[in-house]
Amino acid sequence: METQAMEQVSQVISPEQFLAHWQGHRSLTRRVIEAFPEKDFFEFSIGGMRTFAQLTMELLAIGAPGIREIATGNSEKLDEHFDHKNSKANILKKWDEDTEEINKYWAQVPVERFQQHLKLFGQYEGTGTSQIFYFIDNEIHHRGQGYVYLRALGIEPPFFWER
Amino acid sequence: METQAMEQVSQVISPEQFLAHWQGHRSLTRRVIEAFPEKDFFEFSIGGMRTFAQLTMELLAIGAPGIREIATGNSEKLDEHFDHKNSKANILKKWDEDTEEINKYWAQVPVERFQQHLKLFGQYEGTGTSQIFYFIDNEIHHRGQGYVYLRALGIEPPFFWER
């Protein structure tokens, strides 16, 4: 037990902490979605980039399906579309459902999976941890772009450090 | 030894992998800096935000000093200024020096430090790992903003997934 406790202390991050880190970012992204006026969420963009709605659809395509595949080993399809009817409320509802889905499948990921080499969505290769880092980092990256959209629209985005 | 090997396999991420992850992001940020025309790097912005030069100065203020404080315990000052003479080359030179500085001090961080509660720069509180996550995530966040600046300038940014 003493050895186990020491190992607990001397790791960079536990699976539970890693999940909390991800969900903290997802909570901030949710508030960025909320900060967009309905119309701008679906229509505004800069420099020919995607709208924040399209970026959000990419995040939804990756997060819950990605962790489900990491947990189960069953290949998922990368699907950036669902019938949201141009409604932010529908997208936020899906966001919240996926929050639960991520918690559920995260609890089923065996700890050795983080260091195993995986191929996700039939094409992306890397360790479990590097895959999850990609999910999180890609979300931060696109959310940072959303901050510029909000600023360009004259809207104050939520504080980056509030999770 | 067998137990040790198992512990090695069953952790989310090792300190060496965590460093490689950070440096991979820093390498991409370096290429984003390079992609900016000299003048736009120091002058262009959207919606009243900081220029990418100013954002880069923030990243330089945090990264190497932050890991130095985590390694040594000596309080650092958050200093977002040095005399770069409006030269991207001077900033890239500092970026590269800091790459070495980060490698050097990372090697001195005791593994238990990642889970210890720390106060950095005299004010920011959290575990060692949460501090380093902040360094990395803040860089991804601002770099994502740099991508919008580049797109608005009609410049193709480097691929996000190339590190």
**pLDDT tens track for B36-78:** 999 999 999 999 999 999 999 999 999 999 999 999 999 999 9
Q: For residues B25 and B135, is the Cβ–Cβ distance under 8 A?
A: no
A25 is in an annotated binding site: no
> What pLDDT does A8 receive?
52
Residues of B within 8 A of A138 (CB-CB) are 160
Instruction: Give the number of other Cβ atoms within 10 Å of residue B20's Cβ.
Output: 14
Of B9, B21, B151, the CB nearest to A48: B151
Closest-CA distance of chain A to residue B107, Å: 14
Of B114, B141, B148, the CB nearest to A49: B148
**Gap between the Cα atoms of B135 and A153, Å rounded:** 27
**pLDDT tens track for B85-135:** 999 999 999 999 999 999 999 999 999 999 999 999 999 999 999 999 999
**pLDDT tens track for A26-44:** 999 999 999 999 999 999 9
CATH placement of domain B24-152? 1.20.120.450
Q: Do A129 and B161 touch (CB under 8 A)?
A: no
Query: Could you write out the DSSP letters of every residue in A22-55?
Result: HHHHHHHHHHHHHHS-HHHHHH--STTPPPHHHH
From start to end of chain B, where are the E strands? 117-120, 124-127
> What pLDDT does A161 receive?
83
> What pLDDT does A160 receive?
87
ipTM above 0.90, yes or no: yes
Q: Do A145 and B148 touch (CB under 8 A)?
A: yes
Residues of A within 8 A of B47 (CB-CB) are 148, 150-154
B106-145 residues touching A, CB cutoff 8 A:
111-112, 114-115, 129-130, 133-134, 137-138, 140-145
Share the mean pLDDT of chain A: 94
> What pLDDT does B9 receive?
53
Put residue A34 in one of left, alpha, beta given phi > 0 → left and psi -120 to 50 → alpha: alpha
Fold exhibited by the domain A15-152: Four Helix Bundle (Hemerythrin (Met), subunit A) (1.20.120)
> What does DSSP assign to residue B120?
E
Instruction: Give the number of other Cβ atoms within 10 Å of residue B93's Cβ.
Output: 12
**Gap between the Cα atoms of B74 and A123, Å rounded:** 45
Q: Long-range pairs for B63-66 at CB < 8 Å and ≥24 separation?
A: B63/B26, B63/B98, B63/B102, B63/B135, B63/B139, B64/B98, B64/B101, B64/B102, B64/B105, B65/B121, B66/B120, B66/B121, B66/B131, B66/B132, B66/B135
All residues at 6 or more sequence positions from B80 whose CB lies less than 8 Å from its CB, including other chains: B54, B57, B58, B60, B61
A6 pLDDT band, cuts 50/70/90, is very low
> What pLDDT does B66 receive?
98
Report the binding-site residues of B for a divalent metal cation. Answer: 142
| Interface probe with A: pick from B13, B28, B44, most Cβ of A within 10 Å | B13
In the predicted model, what is the mean pLDDT of residues B14-38? 98
> What pLDDT does B162 receive?
80
Closest-CA distance of chain A to residue B97, Å: 25
Share the mean pLDDT of chain B: 94
Q: Do A151 and B9 touch (CB under 8 A)?
A: no
In the predicted model, what is the mean pLDDT of residues B29-42? 98
Of A21, A48, A115, the CB nearest to B133: A21
Domain ranges of chain A: 15-152
> What pLDDT does B160 receive?
87
B5 pLDDT band, cuts 50/70/90, is very low
> What does DSSP assign to residue A113?
G
B148 pLDDT band, cuts 50/70/90, is very high
In the predicted model, what is the mean pLDDT of residues B22-36? 98
